[in-house]
Structure 1
Amino acid sequence: MSAVPRRTLAVLGIAALLGVSACAETSPEPATGAAEQAWTWTDDRGKKISLPKRPERVVAQSGAAAALWDFGVRPVGVFGPHKLKGGGRDPEVGEVDITAVESIGNVWGEFNVEKYASLQPDLLVAGMYQKNTLWYVPDESLDAVDQIAPTVGVQLSGKPLTAVIEQYGKLAAALGADPGAPAVAEARRRFDAASAALKDLAARKPDLKVMVVTATPDALYVAYKPDHPDIAYWADLGLNIVSPERPTEGEGGFWEVLSWENADKYDADVILVDARAQSMKIGEMAEKPTWAKLPAVKAGQLYPWHAAERYSHLGYAKVIEELVSALEKARDDVVA
């Protein structure tokens, strides 16, 4: 899900992304009421936060900030990928106005604790791929971060896509956003319509085989469907996903790791390729002989996979709409 494979990128000094976990129940109390009222929240670590009033100054990891923004929350600071080298907005931060928020760090391992403290935050929010591990909060900064303000973790793996989206919606409502706002309602309608369109396409093209991959110079990573909420959701809608029987041991789930010599283990009509900025590009992969020989590659049926999309109805409505548009024109007879 959710860079190139998460653990691999940690080794490469980019990011760690792998992890599995069960999720804990949450209970926003209260979801409505004045900001002066006491506020409690139990996050996906089972950690209960109790504050004398509703948090107003929220700092969030870029993916969490993007999801909360779509639900109506406006963080004061972000950390994690949000600004590209040219100064533009990184897709991972969604619709967040990066000129209106303070940057605490933009890459893996970068978290300016002093600047974080200067924002006088009431709350920090981050997703979690690994159990109880806040995404993009460096281990060496955890103690200092915990002393400045409470933290909320939202589990991103081991849960259905819609459950993760709904969790962010509940948190946003608890933080004072209006769950019935026109933009929020329209995003939900758009998500439902896109999902229905994908379900219809899958029914019309049952033989269309779709594989999802990411890569490093040393290996091709084939997505293990059950560990990716988005891919599992597409499969639930009927899309024929090519998935390994099990992930590679020692990788923490998410992927079967193939050497480039064995990159032709699976055949697919369509390949969705990790579109993140730090991932291996299709042009680079084309230099690998086994990749160039894959049926989907020869057929030119390669489309982006937005592996770090924010968990909101708006975010995934756009993803699914793009996926439907690509698959509508894809041939389903590339492989037998």
Structure 2
Amino acid sequence: MREQSAWRFTDDRGRLTTADLRPSRVLAYVQAGATLWDHGIHPEGIFGSGHDGPTPDRAKTGTLALDSVDYRGAGDTLDVETLLRGGPDLVVAVSYGHGQIYGLDPDTAKHLEERVPVVVIDVGQARTMDRVAERFAVLARSLGGVPVPGAAQDLAAARERLRAVTGTAPDGPRVVALSPAGREQAHVARPRMWPELRVLAELGVTLASPVEGVGVNWSTTSWTEAAELRPHIVLTDIRSNATPLDEIDAPAWSAAVREAGTVPWNPEPVCSPQAHARFLGLVADAVEVARGG
């Protein structure tokens, strides 16, 4: 009778990966690597997407110790040999649905899977934030990670605090989530398409939505159109591919947000309890200020 493998994990594509020994040299997409780090798993390397550059985007890396994690690069610079440089025995990737590995050219992903086991966690719009976090937690435990003491309790407390400060009034501070795309336009998020933003809505945050139209996750608008949403709080994309919000000097926008608060937002969030609790805390702080608390 064949003995059961020492390590096994079924990823979000439904693919079972097995190994005689538990993997110990993990290469991960940056979002996955930062999340695993918070669970006590130290990846030997990380890689980015086509939005990233020759150095890691600090908006995405969370608490990763970048002096001890090898950044392989991103986008078109990535090939299989570069990805395998550190001799990983497992690759952890993410997908936005349909099982396609995000951040890698399909041919590169195909050849990578021929050389090393790859597991994929689905972080797409069909998933809840809780489900994504749970899947990362299950993977981390299988790799020897342990829950951070108090992290789950801190997240529960952050949820309750945000629920409390939003109150029950229907006219709470309006929150707009966007990614500045230069001085002429902005990508305004459609809140229902983002797991982390749906959590805010569930906790009572009033999220303003752009008009229906082109764009599944984002609506690309002028800054004048973005100003018409009249935000009290702006969740602004802080990834390196986004224009810093303080560089936007469109008159209509500047007038609309003169009194608005801002919250840094990473649309590729670290999916650990402690990271999510920190984000909810920042939103709660901004809501309190907007309410005059």
Alignment TM class, shorter chain as reference: 0.7 to 0.9
3-state SS of 2:42 partner: coil
Does residue 1 of structure 2 align to residue 38 of structure 1?
Answer: no
Shift of 1:150: 1.3
Residue in 2 aligned with 1:289?
251
Shift of 1:206: 4.3
Residue in 2 aligned with 1:195?
159
Shift of 1:89: 7.3
TM-aligned CA distance change 1:90 to 1:302, over 3 Å: closer
Does residue 267 of structure 2 align to residue 303 of structure 1?
Answer: no
3-state SS of 2:104 partner: coil
- CA separation in 2, counterparts of 1:78 and 1:298? 39
Equivalences for 1:251-330 in 2 at 5 Å?
251=215, 253-285=216-248, 287-294=249-256, 297-330=257-290
Could you list the per-position Cα deviations for residues 34-64 of structure 1 after superposition, in whole angstroms to 9, with x for gaps in the alignment? xx94322221122222323322221101110
Could you list the per-position Cα deviations for residues 141-179 of structure 1 after superposition, in whole angstroms to 9, with x for gaps in the alignment? 123211221111111122111111111000001112224
Query: Is the deviation greater in 36-45 or in 144-153?
Result: 36-45
- CA separation in 1, counterparts of 2:95 and 2:53? 26
8 Å CA contact 1:37, 1:54 repeated in 2: no
Matching residue's letter, 1:321: G
Residue in 2 aligned with 1:228?
194
Could you list the per-position Cα deviations for residues 59-108 of structure 1 after superposition, in whole angstroms to 9, with x for gaps in the alignment? 10111001111111111111128xx9998971311111112122211x43
Matching residue's letter, 2:176: M
Could you list the per-position Cα deviations for residues 239-264 of structure 1 after superposition, in whole angstroms to 9, with x for gaps in the alignment? 11112464x43x3x211222345333
Q: Which of the numbers 38, 44, 47 marks the counterpart of 1:70?
A: 38
- Could you list the runs of 5+ residues in structure 2 that have no partner in the other structure? none
- CA separation in 2, counterparts of 1:185 and 1:238? 28
Q: Which of the numbers 160, 176, 181 marks the counterpart of 1:216?
A: 181
- Could you list the runs of 5+ residues in structure 1 that have no partner in the other structure? 1-35
- CA separation in 1, counterparts of 2:83 and 2:234? 40
Does residue 80 of structure 2 align to residue 113 of structure 1?
Answer: yes
Equivalences for 1:21-60 in 2 at 5 Å?
37-60=5-28
Residue in 2 aligned with 1:239?
205
- TM-score normalised according to structure 1 size: 0.77
Matching residue's letter, 1:221: H
- CA separation in 1, counterparts of 2:229 and 2:85? 51
8 Å CA contact 2:262, 2:286 repeated in 1: no
TM-aligned CA distance change 1:174 to 1:120, over 3 Å: same
Query: Is the deviation greater in 43-52 or in 314-323?
Result: 43-52
8 Å CA contact 1:104, 1:112 repeated in 2: no
Does residue 100 of structure 2 align to residue 133 of structure 1?
Answer: yes
- CA separation in 1, counterparts of 2:137 and 2:47? 20
8 Å CA contact 2:166, 2:203 repeated in 1: yes
Q: Which of the numbers 173, 184, 189 marks the counterpart of 2:141?
A: 173
TM-aligned CA distance change 1:220 to 1:156, over 3 Å: same
3-state SS of 1:118 partner: coil
Residue in 2 aligned with 1:33?
none
Shift of 1:196: 0.8
- CA separation in 2, counterparts of 1:98 and 1:196? 33
Matching residue's letter, 1:322: L
TM-aligned CA distance change 1:110 to 1:194, over 3 Å: farther
